[in-house]
Structure 1
Amino acid sequence: MNGLRVPAQRAIIDRRALAGRIDELHREHGEKARPKLVALLKQALSDGRKELSHRLEEKPSSGHEITAGYAFLMDQLLRVIFDYATQSLYPAHNPSSAERITIVAVGGFGRAEMAPHSDVDIAFLTPQRGTPWCEQVIETMLYLLWDLGLKIGHSSRTIEDTIRLSKSDLTIRTANLEGRYVWGDEALYDEVSQRFWADVVRGTERQFVVEKLEERNARHKRMGDSRYVVEPNIKEGKGGLRDLQTLYWIGKYIHKVRSAADLVDVGLFTPTEYRSFRRAESFLLAVRCHLHALTGRAEDRLTFDYQRQIAERMNFAERPAKSAVERFMQFYFLQAKHVGSLTGIFLAHIDEEFAQKNRQRGFFAGFRSRPRNLKGYVVQGGRIAAPSDDWFHKDPVRLIEIFQLAEAESLEVHPETMRQANRDSGLIDRDLRENPRANALFLEVLTGRNDPEAVLRWMNEANVFGRFVPDFGRVNAQMQFDMYHHYTVDEHTIRAIGLLAQIEKGELEADHPRATRLIQKVGSRRVAYVAALLHDIAKGRGGDHSILGAEVAEKLCPRFGLTEAETEMVAWLVREHLLMSATAFKRDLTDPKTIDDFVARVQSAERLRHLAILTSVDIRAVGPGTWNSWKGQLLGELYDTAQEQLRLGHMRRGRKERVAASQQQVADLLGDDAGLVERYGKTMGDAYWIAEPQDIAARNLRHYAAARDLDDQLSIHCAFYEARGATLVTVIAADHPGLFYRIAGGIHLAGGNIIDARIHTTREGWALDNFLVQDPHGRPFREPAQLERLKKSIADALANRIPLVPKLAQRPLPHGRSKAFDVRPRVIFDNKASGRFTVIEVNARDRPALLNRLARALFEEGLVVHSAHVTAYGERAADTFYVTDVTGGKCTLEERLDRLEAALLEAASDETQAKLEDA
Structure 2
Amino acid sequence: MNQVKIPKQRQIIDRRALGGEISTLVREKGKDARLDVIALLRSALDDGREELARRLKEKPAAGHECSGGQSFLIDQIVRLLHDHVTTDVYPSGNRSTSERLAIMAVGGYGRAEMAPHSDVDIAFLTPSRRTPWCEQVIEAMLYFLWDLGLKVGQSSRTLDEMVKMAKEDLTIRTALLEGRYVWGDRKLYDEASRRFYKEVVHGSEREYVSDKLRERDARHKRMGDSRYVVEPNVKDGKGGLRDLHTLYWIGKYIHKVRSAADLIEVGLLTKAEYRSFRRAEGFMLAVRCHLHMITGRTEDRLTFDLQREVASRMNFTDRPGKSAVERFMQFYFIQAKRVGSLTGVFLAHIDDQFAQRRARKGFFAGFTAKSRTLKGYRVAGGKIAAPTKDWFQQDPVRLIEVFQIAEEEGLEIHPDTMRQADRDSGLIKAPIRKDPRANALFLDLLAGRNDPEMVLRWMNEAGVFGKFVPDFGKVNAQMQFDMYHHYTVDEHTIRAIGLLSRIEKGELTDDHPRSTKLIHRINSRRAIYVAVLLHDIAKGRGGDHSILGAEVAMKLCPRFGLDEQETALVAWLVRAHLLMSATAFKRDLTDPKTIEDFVGQVQSLERLRNLMILTAVDIRAVGPGTWNSWKGQLLGELYDSAQERLRLGHVKHGRQDRVAAKKELVLEELGSKKSLLSEQDEMFTDSYWIAEPEDVIARNIVQYSVAREREEQLSIHCEFYEARGATLVSVIAADHPGLFYRIAGGIHLAGANIIDARIHTTRNGWAVDNFLVQDPMGNPFHEEQQLARIEKAIGDALANRIELAPQLAKRPLPISRSKAFKVRHRVIFDNTASNKFTVIEVNARDRPALLNRLARALFESQLIVHSAHITAYGERAADTFYVTDLLGEKITSPDRLETIEKALLDAASDQRQAEMENA
Tell me the TM-score normalized by structure 1. Answer: 0.97
Q: Give the conservation status (yes or no) of the 8 Å contact 1:757–1:771.
A: yes
Which residue matches 1:387? 387
Map 1:93-492; keep pairs closer than 5 Å: 93-492=93-492
Q: Give the conservation status (yes or no) of the 8 Å contact 2:98–2:130.
A: no
Could you tell which deviates more after superposition, 230-239 or 707-716?
Answer: 707-716
- Alignment-mate amino acid for residue 70 of structure 1: Q
Q: 1:698 to 1:203 in 2, by over 3 A?
A: closer
Which residue matches 2:808? 808
CA distance in 2, matches of 1:668, 1:251: 65
Could you tell which deviates more after superposition, 241-250 or 444-453?
Answer: 241-250
Give SS of 2:364's match.
coil
Q: 1:195 to 1:864 in 2, by over 3 A?
A: same
Offset of residue 747 of structure 1:
0.9
CA distance in 1, matches of 2:229, 2:130: 50
Q: Give the conservation status (yes or no) of the 8 Å contact 1:550–1:574.
A: yes
Q: Give the conservation status (yes or no) of the 8 Å contact 1:64–1:285.
A: yes
CA distance in 2, matches of 1:764, 1:584: 29
Map 1:35-46; keep pairs closer than 5 Å: 35-46=35-46
Which residue matches 1:649? 649
Q: 1:647 to 1:430 in 2, by over 3 A?
A: same
Q: 1:107 to 1:721 in 2, by over 3 A?
A: closer
Which residue matches 1:594? 594
Give SS of 1:880's match.
strand
Q: 1:759 to 1:591 in 2, by over 3 A?
A: same
- Alignment-mate amino acid for residue 782 of structure 1: H
| Alignment of 1:32 onto 2:40 | no
Offset of residue 749 of structure 1:
2.1
Q: 1:813 to 1:586 in 2, by over 3 A?
A: farther
Offset of residue 736 of structure 1:
3.1
- Alignment-mate amino acid for residue 265 of structure 1: E
C-alpha deviations, 1:380-418, integer Å up to 9, x for none? 111000011110111111000000110011000111111
- Alignment-mate amino acid for residue 14 of structure 1: D
C-alpha deviations, 1:15-71, integer Å up to 9, x for none? 111111112222222222222222112111111111111111111000000101100
CA distance in 2, matches of 1:664, 1:416: 63
CA distance in 2, matches of 1:810, 1:293: 34
CA distance in 2, matches of 1:662, 1:155: 70
Could you tell which deviates more after superposition, 245-254 or 800-809?
Answer: 800-809
Q: Give the conservation status (yes or no) of the 8 Å contact 1:644–1:652.
A: no
CA distance in 2, matches of 1:350, 1:903: 66
Could you tell which deviates more after superposition, 354-363 or 220-229?
Answer: 354-363
C-alpha deviations, 1:287-339, integer Å up to 9, x for none? 00000011111111111110010000000011110000000000000011111
Which residue matches 2:68? 68
Q: Give the conservation status (yes or no) of the 8 Å contact 2:812–2:917.
A: no
CA distance in 2, matches of 1:466, 1:230: 21
Q: Give the conservation status (yes or no) of the 8 Å contact 2:585–2:869.
A: yes
CA distance in 2, matches of 1:461, 1:286: 24
- Alignment-mate amino acid for residue 178 of structure 1: E
Map 1:833-912; keep pairs closer than 5 Å: 833-912=833-912
Aligned residues: 919
Which residue matches 1:524? 524
CA distance in 1, matches of 2:877, 2:199: 61
| RMSD between superposed Cα atoms in Å | 1.9
Offset of residue 722 of structure 1:
4.4
Offset of residue 205 of structure 1:
2.0
- Alignment-mate amino acid for residue 103 of structure 2: I
Q: 1:237 to 1:688 in 2, by over 3 A?
A: closer
Offset of residue 738 of structure 1:
1.6
Q: 1:282 to 1:591 in 2, by over 3 A?
A: same
Give SS of 1:653's match.
helix
Could you tell which deviates more after superposition, 846-855 or 691-700?
Answer: 691-700
| Alignment of 1:548 onto 2:548 | yes
Q: 1:718 to 1:111 in 2, by over 3 A?
A: same
Which residue matches 1:23? 23
- Alignment-mate amino acid for residue 748 of structure 1: H
CA distance in 2, matches of 1:249, 1:10: 32
Give SS of 1:11's match.
helix
CA distance in 2, matches of 1:671, 1:360: 72
Give SS of 1:454's match.
helix
Offset of residue 893 of structure 1:
0.6
Give SS of 2:363's match.
coil
- Alignment-mate amino acid for residue 391 of structure 2: W
Q: Give the conservation status (yes or no) of the 8 Å contact 1:4–1:72.
A: no
Map 1:624-663; keep pairs closer than 5 Å: 624-653=624-653
- Alignment-mate amino acid for residue 65 of structure 1: E
Q: 1:656 to 1:553 in 2, by over 3 A?
A: closer
Could you tell which deviates more after superposition, 852-861 or 120-129?
Answer: 120-129
Q: Give the conservation status (yes or no) of the 8 Å contact 2:57–2:313.
A: yes
Could you tell which deviates more after superposition, 351-360 or 91-100?
Answer: 351-360
CA distance in 2, matches of 1:729, 1:346: 55
Unmatched segments (≥5 aa) in structure 1: none
Could you tell which deviates more after superposition, 207-216 or 566-575?
Answer: 207-216
Could you tell which deviates more after superposition, 303-312 or 504-513?
Answer: 504-513
Q: Give the conservation status (yes or no) of the 8 Å contact 1:102–1:189.
A: yes
- Alignment-mate amino acid for residue 507 of structure 1: E
Q: 1:891 to 1:165 in 2, by over 3 A?
A: same
Give SS of 1:54's match.
helix
CA distance in 2, matches of 1:687, 1:421: 59
Runs of 4+ that moved beyond 6 A: 654-665
Unmatched segments (≥5 aa) in structure 2: none
Q: Give the conservation status (yes or no) of the 8 Å contact 1:776–1:814.
A: no
Offset of residue 830 of structure 1:
0.6
CA distance in 2, matches of 1:613, 1:812: 41
Give SS of 2:640's match.
helix
Q: Give the conservation status (yes or no) of the 8 Å contact 1:752–1:774.
A: yes
Offset of residue 750 of structure 1:
1.9
- Alignment-mate amino acid for residue 614 of structure 1: L
Offset of residue 584 of structure 1:
0.7
Q: Give the conservation status (yes or no) of the 8 Å contact 2:130–2:158.
A: no
- Alignment-mate amino acid for residue 162 of structure 2: T
- Alignment-mate amino acid for residue 200 of structure 1: V
Could you tell which deviates more after superposition, 357-366 or 177-186?
Answer: 357-366
Q: Give the conservation status (yes or no) of the 8 Å contact 2:531–2:570.
A: yes
CA distance in 2, matches of 1:581, 1:815: 30
Map 1:411-810; keep pairs closer than 5 Å: 411-653=411-653, 670=670, 676=676, 680=680, 684=684, 688-689=688-689, 691-762=691-762, 764-810=764-810
Q: 1:598 to 1:165 in 2, by over 3 A?
A: same
- Alignment-mate amino acid for residue 296 of structure 1: G
CA distance in 1, matches of 2:538, 2:212: 40
Which residue matches 1:817? 817
Offset of residue 422 of structure 1:
0.8
CA distance in 2, matches of 1:558, 1:699: 54
Q: 1:810 to 1:331 in 2, by over 3 A?
A: farther
Could you tell which deviates more after superposition, 649-658 or 823-832?
Answer: 649-658
CA distance in 2, matches of 1:190, 1:306: 43
Q: Give the conservation status (yes or no) of the 8 Å contact 1:815–1:875.
A: no
Could you tell which deviates more after superposition, 610-619 or 245-254?
Answer: 245-254
Could you tell which deviates more after superposition, 697-706 or 543-552?
Answer: 697-706
Give SS of 1:705's match.
helix
Give SS of 2:877's match.
strand
C-alpha deviations, 1:95-135, integer Å up to 9, x for none? 01111111100000001000000000000001133411011
Offset of residue 688 of structure 1:
4.4
